[in-house]
Amino acid sequence: MMSLNVFSKLVAIVLFSAVIISCKRTNCEQEEPTLEFDTLALNDSRDTLIYSVKFSDCQGDIGHIGAIDSNTTRSVRTFLFERINNEWVRWYPLPENLSDTVAFFSVVPGSNKNRPGWLLEGTIIQDFGLANLRQNSDTIRFQTYVLDNAENKSNVVVSSPFVFPSR
């Protein structure tokens, strides 16, 4: 009877060790997050453009935990480009309408599950009202990068072009 109890404890210790060993930390040298373009498509009601990018961060320090106010660093930086005369031209709002850019810069929410030094992956989704995007062209695209909490800048991703539906 005693040997069965010892055997059970030994099995439990071996299984526990296997679980600990399989949950390895991702040790990578890359401090900057990486982005990859995912999708750019209209929603079902065809009034909102949904733009998504996938991110990966070896340091696990993307995201803001706590209240977000006007002083919170906007970690997602998206820029609108229009195709004018066969060239991509960055759109800038008029000085009196700087609030037009608020939707393009956003904050990645943090999680208590984030741990420094552990691989963090996810998808960032931004949605834009279609009526507000059309400026001087019928074709647009986005360019995006993110900043982690240490201010490391990711690569810049470029979306596929989007052509506005005929009016």
CATH assignment of the domain containing 142: 2.60.40
Structural domain total, the chain: 1
Where residue 144 falls among pLDDT bands split at 50, 70, 90?
A: very high
Largest CA distance in the chain: 86
Q: What is the pTM of this model?
A: 0.77
> Is position 15 within any domain?
no
Residue 122 pairs with which residues in a beta bridge?
Answer: 55
Contacts of residues 126-129 at CB distance under 8 Å and 24 or more positions apart, as own/partner, are 126/50, 126/51, 126/52, 126/76, 126/78, 127/43, 127/48, 127/49, 127/50, 127/51, 128/48, 128/49, 128/51, 128/103, 129/47, 129/48
Domain that holds residue 35: 26-163
> Is position 103 within any domain?
yes
Residue 158: is its pLDDT beyond 90? Answer: yes
What is the tens place of the pLDDT at every residue in 39-50?
999 999 999 999
Residue 125: is its pLDDT beyond 60? Answer: yes
Q: What per-residue confidence (pLDDT) applies to 10?
A: 40
Where residue 15 falls among pLDDT bands split at 50, 70, 90?
A: very low
Instruction: Report phi then psi at 130, rounded to 5.
Output: -60, -40
